[in-house]
Structure 1
Amino acid sequence: MRIIGGTHRGTALAAVGQGDAAAHLRPTTDRVRESLFNVLQGGRFGDPIGGAQVLDLFAGTGALGLEALSRGAAHVTFVDNGRVAQKLIRENITKLRRQDDTTVLRTDTGKLPQGTPCTLVFLDPPYDQNLGGKALAVAKAAGWLAPEALIVWEESRAQIAPHGFTTLDQRRYGDTWVTFLRHSS
């Protein structure tokens, strides 16, 4: 895995190795990440990355949030409670020297503390466990979602927008579906 574009383009990220099967650590492939960032920067959603406050839920390796930083996001908060994921996120932040514009929270997405509103949210829950909608509801209740925030939800199938959200687009990349939502506040 590597950073696809921006200031850190080409930088290899920490190797996942054996990963963490119990935590369902499943990094977004370079191909899917490149495709979804092409959509984000294609103009359809304006410029959702430049200067963004980003929330990366179920962050795994942190690749999505770090890709956003590389492309101009202002700050990323990574949320993952997995031991292996925490280690990988911290290694990758150190590798890119982005400690000053990142926060790492080791908590379950169902127990988020009160937060700062974010304009871009990456949501990549373990597939087929119905955790994404619950995580969005908790993030909304805890103040993590700015009005009109853009949510990028990666799952094994297209997702239906929960109450308070509007579906903007859905794309399939192999066995991965990416659903783009707008927080309707």
Structure 2
Amino acid sequence: MKSTIKRLLVTSLSAASILAVTSSALADDNSTAANPGTSDSNPPIIQLGDENITDGGIVTPFSSTPVIDNRPISGHDYEASFYIKPNFGYVRLYLKNTGPDTINLSVNQGSTSGPLKYFAKVYPGQTFNEILNPKGAWAVGDFYVSLASGSLPMSGQLGVRISTDLNF
């Protein structure tokens, strides 16, 4: 009797697994979905966790990419550039100051002397890890990170990520 119940349970679980895999495979089939680019108006985007879901049932995950990846910094002055590509207007900057002096951090658009987009001071032992523009995306183009310390040389790490939205 016990072996009959075990076989019945195993068979039921196997059937449920097959149905779950089949239904998820069919749900990923986009051949029957309407092309969102052919509509005259785009439905509003609703934020839910790490993905954007439109009223039409289309899921568009956000995207982020490192443009400066944990680069070691040293000396009294340091410069690095990054490019914001189309649809990637949000910037997160990471700066770990392991040196003995305060680091002045600035981000300029177009060149190192272009319009100032952000400025901060990162004190010795402090880690700066913030989205620089939470109120709105920056334009496509080149941006320059400039770091400067006082009389003592810098040490630490610099990282910059760009994203399509604020969930990064």
Is this a same-fold pair by TM over 0.5?
Answer: no
**Structure with the larger RCO, 1 or 2 (CA within 8 Å, 6+ apart):** 2
Q: Which has the higher helix share?
A: 1
TM tier relative to shorter chain: under 0.3
User: TM-score scaled to structure 1, two decimals?
Assistant: 0.21
Higher Rg of the two aligned structures: 2
Normalised by the length of structure 2, the TM-score is 0.22
